[in-house]
Amino acid sequence: MKRFIRAKKGIALFATLVVAAAAAFAAYAYFTGSGTGSGSAQTATPASLTVTQIGAGYDSLIPSNAYHQDQCFQCAQVTEFGNEIKLAKPGLQRLTGAVVAFRNWGGHFNNVPITLSIVGGPSSTVTPNIPAAQPDGRPTVTTVSFPFNNLVSREFVYKISFDASGAAGGLNVALSSSPNNLSVGTDSAPGHVWINTAAGPGIDGDFPACTTPGTGFAEVQTNCGTEAPGNPGAYGTNAEVAAGNADIPAVEFNVLGGVVPSLYPGGPAEPVDFAITNPGNASVYVHSVTIAANGLSGQGTDGSIEACDTSMYPISQPSVINTNVPTGTTFYSPSGASISMNDDGNNQDNCEGATVNLSFTAG
């Protein structure tokens, strides 16, 4: 009976509070009124785009018919192969891509991943189409491109890796000469390469007998003695070995603002690749990029022969972009544009060593 009375008092107290709250709400009055105001929405202006030419920061590639040596992966039990290099220009640089020359002594394949890595940095993996060796047994040469979009330091070690135990058993990395074929950049340690192999001293006859691999991917000396009898000329002739130089992997690294190939009268057209950097927060529509020869520098001044003029350097630019360029850097490589040098039949010595200054206009 006592419990029932306490519960009843509790209910009564709650009811009182509700009534009091209702009474307090009813005590407020309000007025109606009117007023005006203003606001705005800002329309953004597009960011200023930057167009930068792409060129080599390091280049040891040579014409395909000039390769005479390569590094075998399968026969030397190699899983990783590379070198330490220095790019031509100082400071951090944006790596846009790399190219590696391969010689294939085996059959055709297109299903083997090949990776190019910057040690301690980015890597790129592709699955290229590699043609079979020629009918007479000579190797075919294929240049394989690896896309990048990364900042890299001026000096670094790179490595090429793939599984040579199956279809790629005949695939080797082409070699060029450090003293004779390196056209852009620097070989940081001539007479040395980097390799990961299970083979012992001399690395199955590919290297001088005194070459001893380390543990894992490590630097080895290739000019410690005379060339391997079974692989004459690899890693340098005896004279080159004695001079402290040797063969290196045939590789090209391309960067923004890199070095472009040299032009010759009547020679082949060279590509003019570029990148557009959009620093804004929204994409910008670009119809095309116009490339023009904007003067010369370093040309000769011999008045007895023909003057060097920009008209000698025709530019082909058939491609139209017609696209939205997103925030960041977008590479146009290949861009479809190229430049060449006319052979006009006269003495063109005033053009020797001259630089053609190009301008890029996006619109």
The pLDDT, as a whole number, for residue 347 is 95
Q: How far apart are CA 116 and CA 196, in angstroms?
A: 14
- Cβ contacts of residue 47 below 8 Å, gap of 6+? 278, 279, 280, 281, 282, 284
Domain limit, last residue, from 222, 253, 284: 253
Nearest alpha-carbon partner for 313 in 264, 251, 278 = 264
Give Cα 238 to chain centroid, integer Å: 34
| Residue 39 lies inside a defined structural domain of this protein | no
Question: End-to-end distance of the chain based on CA atoms, in angstroms?
Answer: 93
The domain containing residue 338 runs over which residues?
Answer: 260-362
Single out the residue in 226, 253, 280 at which a domain terminates.
253
Q: 84 and 226, same structural domain?
A: yes
Residue pointed to by tokens 């005479």: 68
Q: Is residue 19 part of a domain?
A: no
Q: Are residues 344 and 308 in the same domain?
A: yes
In the numeric block, the tokens 């040891």 are attached to 60
Whether residues 215 and 267 share a domain: the answer is no
- Do 78 and 203 lie in a common domain? yes
Residue type, 185: G
- pLDDT, one tens digit per residue, over 170-184 is 999 999 999 889 999
> Is residue 96 included in any domain, yes or no?
yes
CA–CA distance, 222 with 220 (Å, rounded to integer): 6
- Can you spell out the DSSP letters for 204-222? TTTS-TT----SSSEEEES
8 Å CB contact between 272 and 358: yes
pLDDT of residue 333: 84
SS3 category, 241:
helix
Domain boundary among 253, 274, 290: 253
Number of structural domains the chain divides into: 2
Residue 202 lies in a domain: yes
Residue 16 lies in a domain: no
Does residue 47 contact residue 153 with C-beta atoms inside 8 Å?
Answer: no
What CA dihedral angle connects 254, 260, 261 and 263, to 10 degrees?
170
For residue 11, report the phi and psi dihedrals to the nearest 5 degrees.
-65, -40
Q: What does the DSSP 8-state code read for residue 133?
A: P
d(CA 95, CA 275): 11
Does 12 fall in a domain? Answer: no
Q: Same domain for 219 and 311? A: no
Query: Which pLDDT belongs to residue 22?
Result: 38
Q: Could you tell me if 91 and 207 lie in one domain?
A: yes
Low-confidence residues of the chain: pLDDT under 70: 1-32, 43-44, 244, 319
Q: Based on the fold, state whether residues 136 and 182 are members of the same structural domain.
A: yes
Q: Read off the tokens for 237.
A: 């002739």
CB count, 10 Å around CB of 200? 11
Q: What is the pLDDT of residue 4?
A: 31
